[in-house]
Structure 1
Amino acid sequence: MKSRESGKVVCTNKKAYHDFTIEQVIEAGMVLNGPEIKSLRAGKANLKDGYAQIRKNELFLYNVHISPYTFATQEVPDPLRARKLLLHRREINKLIGKLKEQGYTLVPLKIYLNAQGRAKLALGLAKGKKHYDKRAALKQKESDRELQRIMRRG
């Protein structure tokens, strides 16, 4: 799917690209409270240990920390609460089919605000990397850097 991102990136999950092979990126909306969206606009979120799961044919986001907004007048929600993600039914059905295959998981890649100011989440359909895959990726990255240095020198 195309990412219609044109706004501000709130936070990214760099570790996801190291630990997983991302096969598909899905854009989903998030159900948030008023203080949470204010906190996101201030850039106070952490995706490090987050994951998404399907429960009762609905998609939920777990372990994503959105810091409480300091100037909130209403009751502050739990920063680690489960948040519902908004996708079309056919997209959820496709994900259910993919997640039944062994080794697939849904990992949050980044939270951003689109042009209309709505919070969106880029979810990655991911497969876990083995330890030797991570080492091979690091070697490839290092060789690419070395090649860039040589090209820059002339």
Structure 2
Amino acid sequence: MAHTKQKPNHDNVMATNRKARHDYFIEQTYEAGLALTGTEIKSVRERRINLKDGFVSVRNGEALLMNVHINEYTEGNQFNHDPLRTRKLLLHKREIKQLSAAVQTKGVTIVPLKVYLKHNFAKVLIGVAKGKHTYDKRETIKRRDQQRQIERVMKHY
């Protein structure tokens, strides 16, 4: 029997930050685990998470995910979580040092790109990002539109 390669399952992506690739140049990405409470992981599995205003801060040798909104679990009780609480990212010490060094550069920040499940654990893909100027954003939009037009014309041939 020949081993066939499985197609990647995109059902495990719980949330994406589409605005991040529009507003930033992503220079490097890291996969980090998320330290979540019981009601938080249940809400993430229901895809009730918003990454839009999120960012990563490195303090005291720890990477922290800030400003990410995870809605309260509907079936939760008085032990439900705070939707905007700061969550710890699980990274190797070497990776945290690399992130800390990258943030020291002016105009560089760390943003969450997507949250997904991997072997039933919540993971977040974070990117070291450099801010785009308005003219860079216009150039990206123009290039994307040109690519769409080329694909449209090639479809007819």
How many residue pairs match? The answer is 150
Percent identity of equivalent pairs: 48
Please show how residues 1-154 of structure 1 align to structure 2 within 5 Å.
8-114=12-118, 116-154=119-157
> C-alpha root-mean-square deviation of aligned residues, in Å?
1.5
Cα 1:27/1:7, change in 2 over 3 Å: farther
Q: TM-score, normalised by structure 1?
A: 0.93
Q: Given that residues 7 and 117 in structure 1 are in contact (C-alpha distance below 8 angstroms), is that contact kept between their aligned partners in structure 2?
A: no
Q: Which runs of 5+ in 2 are unaligned?
A: 1-7
Name which of structure 1's ranges 29-38 and 4-13 shifts more when overlaid on structure 2.
4-13
Cα 1:74/1:118, change in 2 over 3 Å: farther
Deviating 4+ runs (over 4 angstroms): 4-7
Q: TM-score, normalised by structure 2?
A: 0.91
In 2, Cα distance between equivalents of 1:22 and 1:99? 13
Counterpart for residue 4 of structure 2: none
SS at match of 2:147: helix
Name which of structure 1's ranges 119-128 and 73-82 shifts more when overlaid on structure 2.
73-82
